Amino acid sequence: MKWNYLIALVLILLVLLGCTPKPSTPPSPTPTAPTPTSPPDTTPPSAITGLVANNAYDGKVNLWWDKSTATDFDHYNVYLDKTDMADVTGMKPIQQIKDVATCRYQATGLEDGTKYYFAVTAVDKSGKEGEKVTSVGATPTQMPKGTKDPDIIVDVYNSEMTWAGTTLLRDSHNPGKHRIIEVNMLGEIVWQYMVPQNLGGAGDVELLPNNNILFTANGGVYEIDRSGKVVWQYLTSKIDHDADRLPNGNTIFVFGMSDQKSDAQVTEVNPKGEIVWQWYARDYFDRPPYNSIYEEGSWTHANAVTRMPNGNTFISLRNFSMVVEVDPKGAVVRTIGEGVLVEVHDPEVLSNGNILGAIPKVTNPAHAIEIDPKSGAIVWQFRWPRELLPQGTRDANRLPNGNTLVVGGTKMVEVTSKGEIVWQLGLKGISFSSDNEAKSSGFYKADRISAQR
For residue 23, tell me if it sits in a domain. no
pLDDT at position 439: 76
User: Is residue 59 located within the same domain as residue 207?
Assistant: no
Residues 372 and 429 in one domain: yes
| Co-location of 231 and 256 in the same domain | yes
Amino acid letter at 432? F
Looking at 110, 138, 166, which one is the last position of a domain? 138
Judge if 304 and 359 occupy the same domain. yes
Residue 294 lies in a domain: yes
Count of the separate structural domains present in the chain: 2
CATH (domain of 296): 2.120.10.30
Give the pLDDT confidence score for residue 388 in this predicted structure: 76
pLDDT value for 365: 76
pLDDT digits (tens, 9 = 90+) for 8-53: 444 444 444 444 444 445 555 565 656 666 566 678 999 999 999 9
Q: Which pLDDT value is given to residue 435?
A: 74
Residue 323 forms part of a structural domain: yes
Is the pTM here over 0.75, yes or no? Answer: yes
Q: What is the CATH number of the domain that holds 71?
A: 2.60.40.10
Average pLDDT over residues 250-277: 97
Average pLDDT over residues 397-418: 95
Q: Write down the pLDDT at residue 385.
A: 87
The pLDDT tens digits of the residues spanning 199-238 come to: 988 999 999 999 999 999 989 999 999 999 999 999 999 9
Residue 133 and residue 110: Cα distance in Å, rounded?
A: 22
Same domain, residue pair 223 and 339: yes
Please check the confidence at residue 299 and state whether its pLDDT lies above 90: yes
Residue 414 shares a structural domain with residue 274: yes
The one-letter amino acid code at 433 reads S
Overall average pLDDT of the 64-91 stretch: 96
Tell whether 95 and 234 lie within a shared domain: no
Does residue 166 lie within any of the structural domains?
yes
> In terms of domains, do 197 and 129 share one?
no
236 and 131 both lie in a single domain = no
CA triple 201-234-197, angle to 5 deg: 25
242 phi/psi in degrees, rounded to 5? -155, 140
Domain boundary among 138, 168, 197: 138
- The answer to whether residues 258 and 337 belong to one domain is yes
Instruction: Write down the pLDDT at residue 10.
Output: 40
Domain containing 64 equals 52-138
Question: Is residue 367 in some structural domain?
Answer: yes
Co-location of 210 and 329 in the same domain:
yes
* Triad 246, 249, 255: Cα angle to 5°: 55
Summarize pLDDT for 277-298 with one digit per residue, the tens.
Answer: 999 999 999 999 999 999 989 9
Lowest mean pLDDT among 171-180, 250-259, 368-377, 428-437: 428-437
**% the chain with pLDDT above 90:** 78
Residue 118 belongs to some domain of the structure:
yes
Domain membership of residue 359 (yes or no) is: yes
Asked if the structure places residue 26 within a domain, the reply is no
| C-alpha to C-alpha distance for 118 and 107, rounded to whole angstroms | 9
- The residue from 138, 173, 208 where one domain ends is 138
Q: What is the pLDDT of residues 127-180, one digit of tens each?
A: 999 999 999 999 999 999 999 999 999 999 999 999 999 999 999 998 889 999
Q: What is the mean pLDDT of the segment spanning 400-419?
A: 95
Whether residue 199 sits in one domain with residue 59: no
